[in-house]
Every structure is written in C-alpha cells, then in structure tokens.
Amino acid sequence: MAKNIMPDAHFLTGLTTGFTPVIDAGFSLEDYQHVDLSVNNAELTQEQLDSPEAFQQYIETFLRKKGGKVAWGGYNEHRGLYKRSKLFSSAEDEELIRNRHIGVDIWAPAGTAVLAVLDGKIHSFRNNDNFGDYGPTIILEHEAEGKHFYTLYGHLQKKSLEGLAVGLAVRQGEQIAALGDASENGNYAAHLHFQIILDLQGKAGDYPGVANKKELDFFLNNCPNPNLLLKIK
C-alpha cells in the first residue's frame, strides 16, 4: 500500500473555493462574529465558564451587541473553560493540563443542522459522554489526490448517531447531524467543535480537541486550522 502523504496547509486551502459553512447554510458569512474565549478575555468570568446556562447567555449577549447570529473561533486558544472537568485538568504539572483548544468552535442554537464540509465517508462515531467531553461525535474520512485526512464534528444531538454506518458516503453540504444541548453534548452551551485531523493515531469516534502546553506543537501540526476549509473572514 502506498504511503499516505499528509496534506499541507496549501493543499487544504485549495479544497474549498470560498466560505464553506459547516452549520445550516441559512446563515450568511455576515452573520458570523469572532469571539475571544481565551484567558485574556477579562469580561468572561470563571462562573460564566462553569455554567452552560450562564455561558449561553454570554454568547447571546455578545451576538446582540455585535449584530451577529453565530459566534466562532478558538483555534490555538488558551482557555479557562476546561478547569471544571477532571478530563482536562487533573494533572499536577501545569504543562500537562489540557487547556489549548485545537479546533474551531461555532456557537449556534441547539438543533442547528451540521453539514459535511467536504465529500467523504463515515470513519467512526461515538457518544463520548464523560462530563466536559464531546458528547455525540462523528468523524469523517476524506481522500483527495491520494491524500487522506479526517474531520471531526463534536457536541451533537444523540439522535445524530442513529442510522449511521462506517463507510457511509456523505456529500459536501449534506446534513450529517444537529447540535445538541447541554443535556447531551458534554454539558456545554450549544455549539459545534469542528477539527481537521491528519493522523487519527488509531483512534475511532474520538480524538483530543484540547492539548496541553507540552504537546501543543505536535497537535497544531496534526490538526491544522479548520478555517483553511471554512474560510470565515
């Protein structure tokens, strides 16, 4: 079998020609507003981060002020959002605490349709139901010019996993899922975690979406900026 050549940023950028929505195409590019959820955002308190309801209110207030409908951002962002879950913060060594986000989050109402960004097939799916985890998750496999890579869609509705099968083909722009609410999406305000993964490292239905400082360079190389495909300006 020929060795898979990993896609680079230039290759990934060329796979889409302009703004490519990953949620309900009824939202226009003008509806998107970039939100800073990093530890540098002094307006965002830990109390808001710890409560899905309070965080949802924060996002809604932010969008009203900005005149937008969808909040997005978070790639390579150092966040305090994960302090509430031992899944990320149980390590004693600060450099091993997972708090660097390596995907893009898109904050939109629960029930919003989730779209395949590219043609592909179902690689795997799982309900990662730990507190603070992805909840229902779908991973698609893509192949272009002999290069294979994956996209991950997390924080979905449980019913999004119904009827799925490994190898099932999907088309770009096809609805593959819907956003879950806090009761089923890992206990977060409703949003999509979207991530590009070059090497799944043998995993199925799951892959880290948050890295620690010590391993950050590896994960940024293995998980390029999803906006290479989405092209949200």
Whole-number pLDDT of residue 188: 92
Whole-number pLDDT of residue 2: 46
Q: What is the pTM of this model?
A: 0.93
In this prediction, residue 158 has a pLDDT band, given cuts at 50, 70 and 90, of very high
Angle at 73 between CA 69 and CA 76, to 5 degrees: 175
pLDDT digits (tens, 9 = 90+) for 30-67: 999 999 999 899 998 888 888 999 999 999 999 999 99
Residue 48, both tokens: 């808001």
Amino acid at 214: K
Q: What is the 3-state secondary structure (H, E, C) of 98-141?
A: EEEECCEEEECCCCCEEECCCCEEEEEEEEECCCCCCEEEEEEE
Strand 70-73 relative to strand 104-107, pairing: antiparallel
Whole-number pLDDT of residue 46: 84
Q: State residue 21 phi and psi, 5-degree precision.
A: -70, 145
Closest CA to 113 of 60, 79, 157: 157
Whole-number pLDDT of residue 90: 52
Whole-number pLDDT of residue 94: 62
Non-local (6+) Cβ contacts of 177 within 8 A are 113, 114, 136, 138, 153, 156, 157, 160
Whole-number pLDDT of residue 170: 98
Whole-number pLDDT of residue 128: 96
Q: Looking at 23-27, 65-69, 175-179, 205-209, which range is the least confident one? A: 23-27
Whole-number pLDDT of residue 185: 96
Q: What is the mean pLDDT of residues 140-160?
A: 96
Q: Which CATH number fits domain 9-230: 3.30.40.10, 2.40.30.10, 2.70.70.10, 1.10.3720.10?
A: 2.70.70.10
The HSE-up count of residue 181 (CA atoms within 13 Å, CB side) is 5
CA distance 190 to 59: 10
Read out DSSP for the chain?
A: -PPPPPP-HHHHHTT-SS---SB-TTS-GGGEEE---STT-TTS-HHHHH-HHHHHHHHHHHHHHHT-SEEEE-TTEE-SGGGG-HHHH--SSGGGSEEEE-SEEEE--TT-EEE-SSSEEEEEEEEE-STTS-EEEEEEEEEETTEEEEEEEESB-GGGGTT--TT-EE-TT-EEEEB--TTTTTS-SSEEEEEEES--TT--S---SEEETTTHHHHHHHS--THHHH---
Q: Is pLDDT above 50 for 1?
A: no
Q: What is the mean pLDDT of the chain?
A: 92
Share of the chain above pLDDT 70, in %: 91
pLDDT digits (tens, 9 = 90+) for 76-97: 999 876 664 455 555 455 655 7
